[in-house]
Amino acid sequence: MHRTSGEEPKRLESGTPAFRRLNLALFAAGFATFAILYCVQPLLPVFSEDFQVSAAVSSLSLSLSTGMLAFAMLITGSLSEVWGRKPLMVASLFASALLAIVSAAAPNWHMLLLTRLLIGATLSGLPAVAMAYVSEEVNAKSIGLAMGLFIGGNAIGGLAGRVVTGALTDLASWRVAVGTIGLLGLAAAVAAWRSLPESRHFHPQRAHPADLLKSFANHLGDPGLRALFAEAFLLMGGFVTFYNYLSYRLMAAPYSLSHTAIGAIFAVYLVGTFSSTFVGDLAGRLGRRKVLWAMILIMLAGLAIALFENLVLILLGIVAVTFGFFGAHSIASSWVGRRALTAKAQASALYLFTYYLGSSTVGTLGGVFWARSGWPGVTGLVAALLLVALAVAFRLMVLPPRIPDQEGAP
């Protein structure tokens, strides 16, 4: 992590040993982020019962984390410009894993919410910084693959968080389950620390609030970036809402599934691992603007299929929604790094700010729709978000690139 002199070092390319180490580190970091952040999602009905709170209030255990994550990333993205990418990423992983272990021992509902709030703050040092690291250190042709692997780690982490917590909650308790996720997070933090290559294209910058505000204003002034930020809010808001209240639906009659069974159903997150890498590579070959809207259509189709009462059809719907979301997120997140010409960490932070803001606000709003209209109400809310996202994707198709040779960029 130093300022280079003379000829710039070669950027990381797929197939090289350094790129493989990078992949391991990014996968581990992505795993820990989603495992720690979303391990409480299948536990929302358990929290409602144990702490005697409503579905909307129970969702705060996730929404407070994602909301704090959204706002804190606006600061930590800039701190990484001063302190460096790798140190901040590694510190975030270790702190978040330790807080997850502490949250398992929370004596009451308010203390649990406090630890979840702090987890959102500590995790903020990872997502936006990882995006900036990849855009700086990886060859342009390999960026889609690298980000796909990071997001693939998100998918596996989300899967592990749900499956492990579901099974261990049935076998022991939710506290044992969450504590185990914290230990897995520590292991992932060690793997990322040991494997992530040092930055070779990072140039430290002094942090000035005026410069930060100028960078944000510059990014928000670009119509392409504004559209991508809107996509982040709409897609993530819809996706998290879909999964938040799916557990309530499947635990109720006529399904009455156990925590373990619901956790096993969430194994469809493996589809996200495949789609993030496959679609990222596909977008690199065909162009992002030609693929993004198709992923949103797949999400809408899955949402419609999941309306049926048949459990097999519900599973097919979950698969389609998950495939489409991770594919779309892989495209949009890598697109931001290419679209932003300067202050890439701030651009990534703004993207993820809207991404997690959608998770926290719409995720809790979905509880109101669930209480009033059940699953059809939740479906209507998510469908409205995805239809707007589809319109934004069509808008992105006609925007010219900021740099002419950036094929597929708006």
> Given a cut of 80, is residue 406 above it in pLDDT?
no
pLDDT digits (tens, 9 = 90+) for 71-128: 888 888 777 776 778 888 999 999 999 999 999 999 999 999 999 999 999 998 887 7
Cβ atoms 326, 272 nearer than 8 A: yes
386 neighbors 300 (Cβ within 8 angstroms): yes
Residue 120: other Cβ atoms inside 10 A: 25
Q: How do residues 146-166 score in pLDDT, each as one tens digit? A: 877 787 787 788 888 888 898
User: How far apart are alpha carbons 302 and 316 in whole angstroms?
Assistant: 7
In whole angstroms, what is the distance from residue 297 CA to residue 158 CA? 23
φ/ψ (deg, to 5) at 138 = -110, 140
Which pLDDT band, with edges at 50, 70 and 90, does 1 fall under?
very low
Q: Does CATH number 3.40.50.150 belong to domain 17-199+206-398?
A: no
Query: 273 with 152: CB under 8 angstroms?
Result: yes
Largest CA distance in the chain: 68
Domains in the chain: boundaries: 17-199+206-398
The mean pLDDT of 288-316, rounded to a whole number, is: 95
In this prediction the pTM is 0.79
In this prediction, residue 174 carries a pLDDT of: 96
